[in-house]
Amino acid sequence: MVKKSLKKFETRAKVILITGASSGIGRSCALVFAKAGGRIALLARNKNALQSVREEILKDGGDAQVFPCDLSQIDSIPQVIKEIKEKMGPIDILINNAGYAVTGLVEDCPIKEYRNNFEVNFYAPVTLVQAVLPDMKKKGGGQIINVSSGVGRRALPGVSAYSCTKFALNGLTESLRLELKKFGIDVIAIFPGRVASQFHERIESYGRLKLKLPPIKMNRSEKVAKMILQASQGKKREATLWGPGAVGYHLNYWFPRLVDKLLLKRFPI
């Protein structure tokens, strides 16, 4: 019996909202999806950086609009979605990419910093999803793409706050995938590994632990963006760039105590 192949998800003319679009993975996704014909809604705090990305897209013949927004202020999200709809139309693809990391031993990290990390990394994506779903359901299709992390599968010492936000995002992704299947809406998880970007420079560290991640070869944001585009067009459940994080996740399934020992050697606390 020959299996029917899934129909490719068409990117051209789709309205694509990308959070954290001013740099790193978000910026690269904006450029890659615009080249594929998408109409890009650029969202981040830095208006000037977003304008620079927009100009690059327009210069290449693409279509993009700028929507400055601080995702830690989740009450402002519905208004931003309304503005996007008025200027560009209903959103077809939501790429929840924005995020940052809080590090520190559990006993040293202030509770308010856990809350702040959750506001941007989890509650903002949830709020965005709730805002775009009515139109996606009405059209009978769309995509929600959540950019997660390997530490959302296997936590590291000293990274509990960030890890918790990504574990939560993974849970959201799995629940959504089942809830939205009958509406023809794809829900995709992305695991990009360590990426060469400003993300690591913006890590907020608290207490005695001044976390220095072990040096490894980092993935280029352009490579991650191309993987995300392929995952979108192929309507995949998830996509992962192979690396230490992916190896550790699979190894942890069979030998969790061994992974504990390896992590404690690599991340002395």
Query: How many CB atoms lie under 10 A from the CB of residue 248?
Result: 18
DSSP per position, the chain:
-PPPPPPPPP-TT-EEEEETTTSHHHHHHHHHHHHTT-EEEEEES-HHHHHHHHHHHHHTT-EEEEEE--TT-GGGHHHHHHHHHHHH-S-SEEEE-----EES-TTTS-HHHHHHHHIIIIIHHHHHHHHHHHHHHHHT-EEEEEE--GGGTS--TT-HHHHHHHHHHHHHHHHHHHHHGGGTEEEEEEE--SEESTTGGG-EE-TT----PPP-PPEEHHHHHHHHHHHHHTT-SEEE--SHHHHHHHHHHH-HHHHHHHHHHHS--
Which entry of 162, 206, 249, 253 is annotated as an active-site residue? 162
Strand partners, 190: 147, 239
Answer for the pair 153, 170: CB distance below 8 angstroms, yes or no.
Answer: yes
Rounded distance, CA 248 to CA 109, Å? 25
Verify whether residue 114 is a known catalytic residue: no
Rounded distance, CA 70 to CA 74, Å? 8
Which residues are tagged catalytic? 162
